[in-house]
């Protein structure tokens, strides 16, 4: 994530220590397509209070690594060194010889041009089995026949101010999603509407008897209908929050480094859920049409939320910032003049007389990729950043950041997809220099050069997208064919075929 956090964050309170040793035998979750259940090592602490609970740090064998790449790349030590080489910027993809990713998903990545020591993007692609909750004796409840659920999962994590948060999220976020879905396994497989009320203790006698569930018709007359789909959305939202809370804990004695944007896709029971917190992006290219599947969350797009928070909780501004927006920094010599401003309720601009407190730094400033919250961070949603402070200050920035994703749902059964219909996920390294239309053109160009049933076509497409955004070394920089600068950021791309050779069962 190029320039998303000023170099000032080197002053992060937490980043004083030497990097911990890399574990000798990495125990990352399996990254192949085998649909077996992960060992039950995901955090299981139920919320003490809905949405606010703290998951206790997990006692697994995992420790923080100083540098790693997704295990599905199957990199040898030499391959890892090449992936870490800023000069060559070799594009990395899973080997042709290995097991393919689920759905014949294509993936490619490249390291940045030197803006950070390692590639701070991370990725994960998994098939996850969700079994129903176990009761206290360890036996699984099986009221509806005991079938668990599989979900397919893709995640892109764009780290900043260190790679720790992105790496942790790539290892654990899907497990938090599994954890949130566990209590819903039977409900999601039951075609009747979700019960509004459930007995509190799973596994207690009577839970398996559907008549004991307080269903829609046993409650008072005025009530809202809740869909199965909205339960999955709620599960993903809460999983992001638990992941973020877990990062706030000490992690095996080490503070989690930095923060990350998270763009996650879950395929479950016929629907694709795209959850985005940050400035990565997902689009569907279907029959040459572009369907946006995410929105970016930046100081510009979230200005009013940020300003409202600063207005309602001025103590969060520490006397250093003003919640008002100005087109530029106000100068002391301008006191008493009038300047354009925007308050939290406004989308337009008006003039106001400059007063002393307007000389404070604006909470939100800058435009485009240079927009910042508290002059520091350029994304407003994501995971981690618990220790991010304003430069040369103890003022925390985290209260202004949201860990909640926006979730968009796409019903895969509503359209007959062809092998050229794809869902493209990319970190901002791709989108900074590539428009949606250019991506759609590359989709068309690359896929038409391969047989529809050639499973390697999606990897080739991901590579073409990464190469197209990186450019080639020329004139002292990485340049695109039009001689403009390519992206010097880490670039990571998933290409998920929606009607290709993948098996969706």
Query: Which residues of the shown chain bind a copy of itself in the complex (CB under 8 A)?
Result: 47, 49-51, 180, 183, 194, 196-200, 214, 219-220, 222-226, 230-238, 241, 308-309, 312-313, 324, 326-329, 331, 334, 336-343, 345-355, 365-367, 370, 402, 404, 406-407
DSSP bridge pairs for 406? 276
Least separation in angstroms between CB 308 and a copy of itself: 8
Nearer of residues 235 and 433 to a copy of itself, judged by Cβ: 235
Helix or strand (DSSP H, E) at 331: none
What are the φ/ψ torsions at residue 304 (nearest 5 degrees)?
-70, -35
Nearer of residues 366 and 499 to a copy of itself, judged by Cβ: 366
CB atoms within 10 A of CB 315: 8
- Gap between the Cα atoms of 311 and 438, Å rounded: 41
Least separation in angstroms between CB 306 and a copy of itself: 12
Nearer of residues 149 and 407 to a copy of itself, judged by Cβ: 407
What does the DSSP 8-state code read for residue 176? H
Q: Is 491 exposed, middle or buried (0-12, 13-18, 19+ CB in 10 A)?
A: buried
List all residues 6 or more positions away from 17 whose beta carbon is below 8 Å from its beta carbon: 254
List all residues 6 or more positions away from 394 whose beta carbon is below 8 Å from its beta carbon: 13
Least separation in angstroms between CB 494 and a copy of itself: 23
- How would you classify the pairing of strands 121-130 and 106-110? unpaired
Closest CA to 490 of 405, 424, 426, 425: 426
Nearer of residues 346 and 412 to a copy of itself, judged by Cβ: 346
Nearer of residues 345 and 394 to a copy of itself, judged by Cβ: 345
Least separation in angstroms between CB 47 and a copy of itself: 7
Least separation in angstroms between CB 69 and a copy of itself: 32
What does the DSSP 8-state code read for residue 238? H
Nearer of residues 202 and 499 to a copy of itself, judged by Cβ: 202
Torsion of CA 290, 454, 170, 264, to 10 degrees: 20
- Gap between the Cα atoms of 160 and 275, Å rounded: 19
DSSP bridge pairs for 491? 110
CB atoms within 10 A of CB 56: 12
- Gap between the Cα atoms of 237 and 241, Å rounded: 7
Nearer of residues 10 and 214 to a copy of itself, judged by Cβ: 214
List all residues 6 or more positions away from 474 whose beta carbon is below 8 Å from its beta carbon: none
List all residues 6 or more positions away from 218 whose beta carbon is below 8 Å from its beta carbon: none
Least separation in angstroms between CB 155 and a copy of itself: 18
Check: CB of residue 495 under 8 Å from CB of residue 439.
no
Nearer of residues 255 and 276 to a copy of itself, judged by Cβ: 276
Least separation in angstroms between CB 357 and a copy of itself: 10
For 208, the token pair is 């398996």
Nearer of residues 340 and 449 to a copy of itself, judged by Cβ: 340
Torsion of CA 258, 259, 260, 265, to 10 degrees: 130
Least separation in angstroms between CB 414 and a copy of itself: 20
Radius of gyration from C-alpha coordinates of the chain: 24
Tally of residues, the chain? 505
Least separation in angstroms between CB 431 and a copy of itself: 22
Nearer of residues 58 and 406 to a copy of itself, judged by Cβ: 406
Nearer of residues 10 and 350 to a copy of itself, judged by Cβ: 350
């Amino acid at each position: 994530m190029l320039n998303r956090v000023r170099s000032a964050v080197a002053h992060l309170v937490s980043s004083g220590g030497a990097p911990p040793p890399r574990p000798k035998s990495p125990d990352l979750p399996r990254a192949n397509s085998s649909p077996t259940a992960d060992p039950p090592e995901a955090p299981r602490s139920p919320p003490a209070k809905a949405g606010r609970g703290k998951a206790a740090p997990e006692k697994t064998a995992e420790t923080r690594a100083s540098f790693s790449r997704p295990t599905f790349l199957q990199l040898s030590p030499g391959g890892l060194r090449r992936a870490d080489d800023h000069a060559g910027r070799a594009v990395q993809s899973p080997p042709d010889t290995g097991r393919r990713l689920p759905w014949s998903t294509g993936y490619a990545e490249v390291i940045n041009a030197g803006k950070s020591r390692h590639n701070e993007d991370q990725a994960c692609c998994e098939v996850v089995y969700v079994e129903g909750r176990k009761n206290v004796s360890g036996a699984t409840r099986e009221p509806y026949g005991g079938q668990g659920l599989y979900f397919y999962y893709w995640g892109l994590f764009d780290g900043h101010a260190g790679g720790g948060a992105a790496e942790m999220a790539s290892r654990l976020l899907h497990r938090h999603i599994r954890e949130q879905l566990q209590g819903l396994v039977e409900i999601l497989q039951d075609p009747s509407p979700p019960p509004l009320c459930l007995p509190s203790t799973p596994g207690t006698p009577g839970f398996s008897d559907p008549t004991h569930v307080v269903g829609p018709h046993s409650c008072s007359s005025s009530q809202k209908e809740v869909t199965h789909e909205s339960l999955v959305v709620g599960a993903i939202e809460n999983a992001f929050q638990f992941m973020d809370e877990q990062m706030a804990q000490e992690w095996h004695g080490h503070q989690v480094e930095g923060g990350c944007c998270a763009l996650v896709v879950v395929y479950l029971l016929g629907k694709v859920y795209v959850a985005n917190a940050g400035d990565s992006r997902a689009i569907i290219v279907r029959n040459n049409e572009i369907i946006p599947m995410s929105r970016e969350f930046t100081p510009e797009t979230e200005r009013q939320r940020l300003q409202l928070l600063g207005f309602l909780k001025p103590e969060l501004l520490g006397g250093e910032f003003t919640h008002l927006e100005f087109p530029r920094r106000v100068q002391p010599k301008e006191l008493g003049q009038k300047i354009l401003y925007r308050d939290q309720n406004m989308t337009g601009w008006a003039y106001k007389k400059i007063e002393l407190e307007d000389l404070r730094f604006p909470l939100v400033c800058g435009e485009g990729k240079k927009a910042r919250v508290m002059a520091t961070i350029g994304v407003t949603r994501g995971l981690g950043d618990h220790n991010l402070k304003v430069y040369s200050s103890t003022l925390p920035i985290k209260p202004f950041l949201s860990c909640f994703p926006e979730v968009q749902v796409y019903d895969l059964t509503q359209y007959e997809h062809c092998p050229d219909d794809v869902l493209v996920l990319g970190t901002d390294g791709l989108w900074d220099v590539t428009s949606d239309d250019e991506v759609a053109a590359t989709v068309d160009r690359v896929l038409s050069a391969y047989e529809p049933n050639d499973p390697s076509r999606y990897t080739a497409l991901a590579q073409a997208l990464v190469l197209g955004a990186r450019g080639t070394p020329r004139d002292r920089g990485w340049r695109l064919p039009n001689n403009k600068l390519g992206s010097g950021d880490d670039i990571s791309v998933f290409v998920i075929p929606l009607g290709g050779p993948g098996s969706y069962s």
